[in-house]
Amino acid sequence: MSTPLIIDAHLDLAMNAIEWNRDLTRPLDEIRLLERNMPDKPDRGKGTVCLPELRKGNIGLVVATQLSRVAAPGSMGGWHSPQQAWAMTQAQLAWYREMEALGEMRQICNAEELESHLRQWQEPGENKPIGYILSLEGADSLVDISYLYKAYDYGLRAVGLSHFGPGRYAPGTRSRGPLTPAGLALLQEMDKLRMIVDVTHLTDEGFDQVMKIYKGPVWASHSNVRSLVPNQRQLSDDQIRQLIERDAVIGGMLDCWALDIRFIDTVSDPWQLDITLNRLIDHWDHICQLAGNSRHIAIGSDLDGIFGTEQSPWDLDRISGLQQIGGLLSDRGYSANDIEQVFSGNWLRFLRKAWDHA
């Protein structure tokens, strides 16, 4: 049997390349070796993602981010002005363009490009370009609303209004409150462009506003279940039901603190707590029970999103290991069709519907 195609809806590739100084064209073991004596970040030498590993795992399409915050009191850090944050997103964009020039990646902006890319990945051959859909994680870097149009012109197709803490357009994880007036205005412009709104990281108030106001497509690119890990970063059952009603898809993420309530960042060990990929299946099971089907779950791993193997399931050493999920789903009683939908079909259904109406 051929290895099934996987779509991963959340990877911070450019952040790792530009800010972590990782050459993602190199083999993973080589990247780890280069970092083995670097003390600046807890995930040094423990990364799981590079372009060769994506190919090994037949992960042919990803949602790849631009991520650049503006610092604010109570935030997790960032740049001191929107202009600086914008400049960083442009450096990240330049890296994606360099990967395109090398034939390593290919940007996907519309339905025609999506179908062409899928056809290539169905054909035999090696070293195929990884398709990527560009997403902005946190809108802080948009200096004003006119910058949304600049970004759309270079291929931005999804935006999450918030990240961690206070934000210029919306507060995010570990904070409270509604969208800012600028955030409400930004939503209106995104609706005109029929962009995808990513509800990941929104406060409960912000989530409710987006679901009531926004008429275009919404997804949760990398979110898990609050009833299993009860904190504001996860989706409540009511939020999950609202997303199901909108035919949205929820990408399951693999940061251990979002999988298991016992895990504490920089303190806990995934192996000691026996946190495995099966914990993700627990979250997906819960969503499927609410939905009555498997149409709303998929992969949004967030691997190497400021963490590595020290904070991901111990049975996943590298991103190519996502293929293991098929066997785990089968063991839980999911059908072959269910597994195909989780690996790629649900994201493809969502994108085709969103872009058919663009």
Residues 142, 146, 148, 153: is their CA dihedral positive or negative?
negative
Q: Is the pLDDT of residue 72 over 90?
A: no
Residue 1 placed within a domain: no
Whole-number percent of the chain with pLDDT over 70: 98
The CATH number assigned to the domain holding 270 equals 3.20.20.140
What is the total count of domains within the chain?
A: 1
CB 37 within 8 A of CB 87: no
Give the distance, in angstroms, between the CA of residue 128 and the centroid of all CA atoms in the same chain. Answer: 21
Number of H helices, E strands in the chain: 14, 9
Alpha-carbon gap, residue 212 to 184, rounded angstroms: 12
Q: Which of 88, 48, 84 is nearest to 66 (CA)?
A: 88
Residue 253 placed within a domain: yes
Alpha-carbon gap, residue 90 to 31, rounded angstroms: 24
Note the pLDDT tens digit of each residue in 247-296. Answer: 999 999 999 999 999 999 889 999 999 999 999 999 999 999 999 999 99
Residue 268 placed within a domain: yes
Backbone angles phi and psi of 44, in degrees to 5: -60, 135
Mean pLDDT of all residues in the chain? Answer: 96
Q: Alpha helices, DSSP H only, in 23-110?
A: 28-34, 51-56, 82-101
Q: Reduced to 3 DSSP states, what percent helix, strand and coil does the chain have, rounded to the nearest 5?
A: 40, 15, 45
Domain that holds residue 208: 6-356
Give the mean pLDDT of 336-344: 98
Q: Alpha helices, DSSP H only, in 131-180?
A: 146-153
> In terms of pTM, does the model score above 0.85?
yes
Note the pLDDT tens digit of each residue in 168-223. Answer: 999 999 899 999 999 999 999 999 999 999 999 999 999 999 999 999 999 999 99
In the beta sheet, which residues pair with residue 66? 136
Alpha-carbon gap, residue 203 to 180, rounded angstroms: 12
Residue 225 placed within a domain: yes
Residue 341 placed within a domain: yes
Residue 68 placed within a domain: yes
CB 252 within 8 A of CB 291: no
Which pLDDT score, from 0 to 100, does residue 75 have? 65
Query: HSE on the CB side for 189, CA within 13 Å?
Result: 20
Residue 340 placed within a domain: yes
Q: Is the pLDDT of residue 305 over 90?
A: yes
Note the pLDDT tens digit of each residue in 95-139. Answer: 999 999 999 999 999 999 999 999 999 998 889 999 999 999 999
**CB atoms < 10 A from the CB of 187, how many?**
22
